[in-house]
Amino acid sequence: MSEQPAPVQNPGLTAPAAPSPGPAASAPGPLPAGLAAALKRDPAGLVAAVVQQYDTNEVLMLGWMDDEALHRTMTTGRVTFYSRSRQEYWRKGDTSGHVQWVKSVALDCDGDALLVRVDQVGAACHTGTRTCFDGRELDISPVQAG
């Protein structure tokens, strides 16, 4: 069984919080100003979060985060998402027991996606599969180089 790691720290982004355009925001946001400014959110104030197993590099799932969900993820050691359908926060594993312990969080070069590296306990997918992509391969027709 995995033990809870220390909260994720990013000393390069420790300035005061900036306003957050996320779904639940109207007051100053919870993120450091540098990080808040670097994020490129969709019109709903969300950014895609790719979740990856830290030791195997296996891609587990994709979720969505607003500023508050990212803040919770970076400070609690557990992954929190924002549900677009339910319009509420949910912490992975609270009902299933399939917890994601945060190992690191990275922002991509464009600022429009996050990579959350975790230690996954149990299945990552709500269907019970290890990843949300298991058994869901699509047929492709590769184009021949000519």
Give the C-alpha distances (Å, rounded to integers) separating 1 from 33, 41, 98, 101, 121.
36, 35, 11, 11, 8
* Token pair of 128 as six digits: 């019970």
Q: What is the pLDDT of residues 79-97, one digit of tens each?
A: 999 999 999 999 999 999 9
Query: How far is the C-alpha of 3 from the C-alpha of 86, rounded, in Å?
Result: 30
Long-range CB contacts (< 8 A, 24+ apart) of 85-90? 87/23, 89/24
CB-CB contact of 75 with 68 (8 Å): no
pLDDT above 70 for 11 = no
CA 70 to chain centre: 7
Query: How far is the C-alpha of 139 from the C-alpha of 44, rounded, in Å?
Result: 32
The pairing of strands 59-65 and 80-83 is unpaired
Q: Quote the pTM value.
A: 0.77
Query: How far is the C-alpha of 119 from the C-alpha of 132, rounded, in Å?
Result: 16
Query: How far is the C-alpha of 139 from the C-alpha of 119, rounded, in Å?
Result: 30
Q: What is the pLDDT of residues 31-81, one digit of tens each?
A: 999 999 999 999 999 999 999 999 999 999 999 999 999 999 999 999 999
Better pLDDT: 135 or 27: 135
In this prediction, residue 143 has a pLDDT band, given cuts at 50, 70 and 90, of: confident
Q: Which helix (H) or strand (E) holds 36?
A: helix 33-38
CB neighbours of residue 1 within 10 Å: 4
- Domains contained in the chain, CATH given: 40-120 (3.10.20.810)
